[in-house]
Amino acid sequence: MDYLQGLNPEQKAAVLQIKGPVMIIAGAGSGKTRVITYRVAHLIRSGVDSFNILVLTFTNKAAKEMRERINHIVGPEAKNIWMGTFHSVFAKILRVEADKLGYPSNFTIYDTDDSKSVLRAILKEMQLDDKLYAVNFVLNRISAAKSALLTPAAYQGNPQIQAEDDSQRRPLLGKIYETYAQRCYRAGAMDFDDLLLKTNELLRDHADVRNKYQHKFKYIMVDEYQDTNHSQYSIVKRLASVNENLCVVGDDAQSIYAFRGANIQNILNFEKDYPDLKVFKLEQNYRSTQNIVNVANSIIANNKDQLKKNVFSEKDTGDKIKIMRAFSDNEEGKMVADAIMHQRSTNGLKWKDFAILYRTNAQSRSMEEALRKLNIPYKIYGGMSFYQRKEIKDMIAYFRLTFNPNDEEALKRVINYPKRGIGDTTVDRVIVAADQHQITPFEAILDAPRYVEKAPASLMAFATMIQSFQVITKTLSAYDAALHIAQHSGLLKDLYADKSVEGLNRYENIQELLNGIKEFSEREDIEEKGLDIFMQDVALLTNDDNDKNKDADTVSLMTIHSSKGLEFPQVHIVGLEENLFPSQMSLNSRSDLEEERRLFYVAITRAEYKLTISYATSRFKFGTLINCEPSRFIDEINAKYLELDFSAKPAPAASSSFGDERSAWSRKPADSFSKPKPATAPPVKTTSMLAKAHVPSAGFKPSDTSNLQVGMQVEHERFGFGKVISLEGNKPDIKATIFFKEIGQKQLLLKFAKLSIVTE
């Protein structure tokens, strides 16, 4: 029981309570992961079979970290726990039980791009206005319906929903949903929402399956319960209904995902479902200083819908929270960059000790510009994932088609890539023939002379190639099969032939994908290592699972939503202005405003010992400089915890008064900001990169870069002069990050970069 010694009394009590329904309310930085980990370990140490434990998380990263910690305590038994994200666990169950729903066990999992492609085709066939029926809107509507457990029939049969669609002049949404569901079913595919919807259907309609898993999962734990939607809530409730050994862990103050269906009422009303519930409150914050915790508490106290708790810290009082005022968004970026530079140099910190958090992605621009001017390395989190790159999706489409030839989206993606003489007209004929004969497009291709008018020989050759891939995947390892497909599909050759910088990057990305499959093939912690299992893992990756270089010494830039679960020694929260944070969309209801306040609470509690909040008195919006009003959230912070920095001079047309002694500052009346007002600003100066094309130095000649060092000055024949910021990787595949004076930061592969080292 030595693993219990490091727990505080409330943590220990939560770990030891293994029977019956339990709710652990875990304040920010309160050691939640440790409690979940030790509780699972304690279950196993108490004699519970690890095969009977189910742990549901929201990221693979969280599941992996917990499993590693549990393994450290109980050993190999940790491998037997059913632990993972909702989607990964239920995808695993659906693979086994798919035939009961009419799906193949090797069903494809569609990502967002796949779903959008299907919807675009449907909208085109139905000849609908793609502005009124925008793909993103339609997909979000279908996703919301599935999260609410509404099938197409239930959707179309609901008078209230139909009236709402009619009022928005979108009466055919139900029909689109129905057609979309039929297409996915025909293709043997499920999207992310289906993984939960179909699991609900499985447990609802098949008593034998429901009974099987109710008795298998005798102990269930759910992490981040405040983020569950109705579909997830229903699955958990059904699975736990026999034993009721259900433990949910979460913090209502960090419920920030209503936009994707999360229902805070699941945690607020948990006691109504389980009257004999045991509640434990983890209130000691081990992450942040007292001042930061006090500021967070003073903010969240303004919410009415919450589970009351008294979060405290026993760390030092710490610095007061600095409020910085800038006269423009660009000035705000400059102030933040200067502050980071100063703190790093005076306190011996690393770049990765700093994070800049913002409400919307668009705010990163001014921050990036300011950081680049000071040569501060940074990374934006939440950008394009590695697995969303075109070349990666192309390669994975070949893998998907190999295991599920009925996957229409994968088929359309690669049937003529690389080019093999199968034009759009031929593809359209294949799709039409498949629809007419109620077969899949691949079945139509297999018997093309019968079904497809003027079918080229290359069509049958393509089908033969895919069938050959199906054969080799049964005998080769995941890596060898992937390499074979990459080579014999022609994709690897096509990318290798492109000698441009972009082409080399794409080829490199495919090599990195193959490296990842090789690494997967050699893992000792998993039993099933087939290429199909690798693809399932990729399809179920969550946003924060994709980055393999999280330890790089760079300043982190991200939206507050992306920062959830992270922590940094120093945090800058930028853009604290009305209609930006809180967002304008949130000012229509109390529940929306309270979610924005919870989002601010999350941002504050990412900081360990220094927190800075900033806002601008003017900001460009749609090409016009407008006055900005300080956020109401700043007013809600107790002034005794604050230090005001108004050293920047506000622009004349965007000035505010800050002399009111009754508050930290006073604001203009709200109605004076109801419409954006142009502010006086200097003309925007633009420069054309083409006008500054670099002319190589006389006698320019690429150097031997095998001994290139960080800090060296280099010249590139196109990008000009620059300084090496970082080097990563191993010979001969070393990548250099270089800041070029004229164009900013670039990452280059040294063996192809042709750099000349500049000597004094």
Residue ranges for the known binding site for ATP are: 26-33
- The rounded distance, in Å, linking the Cα atoms of 641 and 138 is 46
Q: Angle at the Cα of 522 (from 516 to 526), degrees rounded to 5?
A: 100
In the beta sheet, which residues pair with residue 642? 321
Is 479 in contact with 533 (CB distance < 8 Å)?
no
| Residue type present at position 338 | D
- The rounded distance, in Å, linking the Cα atoms of 219 and 239 is 10
- The rounded distance, in Å, linking the Cα atoms of 210 and 217 is 11
Contacts 24+ apart (CB under 8 A), 658-661: 658/325
Catalytic residue among 33, 156, 713, 745: 33
Parallel/antiparallel/unpaired status of strands 713-716 and 720-728: antiparallel
Q: How many CA atoms lie within 13 A of 305 on its CB side?
A: 20
Closest CA relative to residue 251, chosen from 26, 24, 32: 26
Catalytic residue status for 120: no
Is 280 in contact with 14 (CB distance < 8 Å)?
yes
Catalytic residue among 32, 170, 325, 619: 32
In the beta sheet, which residues pair with residue 57? 85
List, in sequence order, the alpha helices (H) in 489-530.
491-497, 501-521
E-only strand ranges, 91-233? 108-110, 189-191, 219-222
Catalytic residue among 111, 114, 193, 224: 224
Other Cβ atoms less than 10 A from the Cβ of 520: the count is: 20
Backbone angles phi, psi at 20, to 5 degrees: 80, 180
Catalytic residue among 57, 108, 232, 254: 254
DSSP string covering 309-353: ---B--S---PPEEEEEESSHHHHHHHHHHHHHHHHHHHT--GGG
Is 522 in contact with 533 (CB distance < 8 Å)?
no
CA 158 to the chain's CA centroid: 33
Q: What is the dihedral of CA 593, 598, 602, 607, to 10 degrees?
A: 80
Catalytic residue status for 223: yes
Catalytic residue status for 32: yes
Is 23 in contact with 224 (CB distance < 8 Å)?
no
Binding-site positions:
26-33
Two tokens, residue 341: 């530079």
Two tokens, residue 20: 């019956």
Catalytic residue among 97, 114, 165, 223: 223
| Four-residue CA torsion sign, 448, 449, 455, 460 | positive
- The rounded distance, in Å, linking the Cα atoms of 209 and 119 is 32
Closest CA relative to residue 702, chosen from 653, 753, 756, 663: 756
Catalytic residue among 359, 606, 632, 667: 606
In the beta sheet, which residues pair with residue 735? 728, 749
| Residue type present at position 610 | K
Backbone angles phi, psi at 610, to 5 degrees: -140, 130
- The rounded distance, in Å, linking the Cα atoms of 646 and 495 is 54
- The rounded distance, in Å, linking the Cα atoms of 354 and 343 is 10
CA 274 to the chain's CA centroid: 32
- The catalytic site residues sit at 32-33, 223-224, 254, 606
